[in-house]
Amino acid sequence: MMSLESVPPKYAQLVQTLQRRIEAGDYPPGTLLPSENQLIQEFSVSRPTVVAALRVLREQGWIESQQGKGRFVRGRPAMASVEQKRPGQAYLTTPENDTTGDVVEVGAVTAPNRVGVLLDVSPKSKVFVRRRLIVRDAEPTELVSLWLPLDLSGGTDLTSGEPLRQGLREHLQARKGVRFDHIVEQITARMPSADEARQLGMPKNIPLLAVFGAVRDASGRPLAVVEVLLPANRHELEDAYPIT
């Protein structure tokens, strides 16, 4: 008889144990990790299990291995401590209830130049747009626009001015059977229009960070475009990536 609650596989347990020891200082950075044979003896597991655990640690950046010498401790990967604040991504998964804001525009318009290119539709054709003004701490902070091809906006709850209870990702995935895969992001800066400056409550003489996120499926077909407008005096974008 097996226990009903699922236990994590052995190699995953080993990963956790070694991570804890590195963080606790038992294996200081720069030193050699115990060899495979030593780990096999200490934990009473087979070599493939040890190797699987060490492979995970290497791919996550905790250690680096050198054939013939051993595995060197690098320490907790600093990458992991930098939270990924990709703008635009949050608006695809978070239900609109979680952020306060008003829908300021909903309907079909002729696609702006850049949006048309990102959605891969013919120039001057109509697309669906849904624009929201995000409010934080009782102050307007971001202007978020969602563009969709017309064939993806039909039959959804997006055409109403009500906030969505579901995340946008689940909504489209359930209604239309499309699967979001990745985002191609373009970042530019420009001066705000008079309308934008008024809506965002910002001076007209400071620039705007404009983030365009083209949402695609695994084959690269564009599904949607998210535009996020951030007043540059109150927001900046942060990201982290390894050096290749």
Partner DNA sequence: AGCCGACAGGTTGTTTTACCAAGTTTGAGA
Partner DNA sequence: TCTCAAACTTGGTAAAACAACCTGTCGGCT
Cα 171 to the center of its chain, rounded Å:
18
Task: State in angstroms the smallest separation of the CB of 52 from DNA.
Answer: 6
Q: Which residue in the set 5, 98, 137, 236 belongs to the binding site for a second copy (CB under 8 A)?
A: 236
Nearer to DNA, 57 or 200 (CB): 57
Between helices 10-24 and 36-43, what is the axis angle to 10°? 110
Q: Which residue in the set 81, 124, 177, 194 belongs to the binding site for a second copy (CB under 8 A)?
A: 81
Nearer to DNA, 10 or 86 (CB): 10
Q: Which of residues 38-97 bind DNA (CB under 7 A)?
A: 38, 44-49, 51-52, 54, 65-71
Alpha-carbon gap, residue 98 to 90, rounded angstroms: 11
Asked if 36 interacts with a second copy (CB under 8 A), we say no
Q: Which residue in the set 20, 190, 198, 204 belongs to the binding site for a second copy (CB under 8 A)?
A: 190
Task: State in angstroms the smallest separation of the CB of 225 from a second copy.
Answer: 14
Own/partner pairs for 19-23, CB < 8 Å, 24+ apart?
A: 19/57, 19/62, 19/76, 22/62, 22/73, 22/75, 22/76, 23/76
Asked if 2 interacts with a second copy (CB under 8 A), we say no
Between helices 10-24 and 47-60, what is the axis angle to 10°? 50
Binding mask 204-233 for a second copy (x = CB under 8 A): -xxxxx-----xx-xxx-----------x-
Q: Which one of a second copy, DNA, none interacts with residue 45, CB within 5 to 8 A by kind? A: DNA
Residue 221: phi and psi, rounded to 5, are -70, 130
Nearer to a second copy, 62 or 147 (CB): 62
Asked if 174 interacts with a second copy (CB under 8 A), we say no
Q: Which one of a second copy, DNA, none interacts with residue 54, CB within 5 to 8 A by kind? A: DNA
What residues contact 228, with CB distance under 8 A and at least 6 apart? 87, 88, 91, 142, 143, 144, 210, 211, 213
Q: Which one of a second copy, DNA, none interacts with residue 207, CB within 5 to 8 A by kind? A: a second copy
Nearer to DNA, 26 or 120 (CB): 26
Q: Are 14 and 47 in contact (CB under 8 A)?
A: no
Instruction: Tell the burial category of 115 from Cβ atoms under 10 Å away from its Cβ (0-12, 13-18, 19+).
Output: buried
Residue in the block written with tokens 């007043």: 231
Q: Which residue in the set 15, 18, 22, 33 belongs to the binding site for DNA (CB under 7 A)?
A: 33
Binding mask 133-172 for a second copy (x = CB under 8 A): ------------------------------------x---
Q: For residue 118, which of 211, 213, 208 has the smallest C-alpha distance?
A: 213
Alpha-carbon gap, residue 67 to 58, rounded angstroms: 13
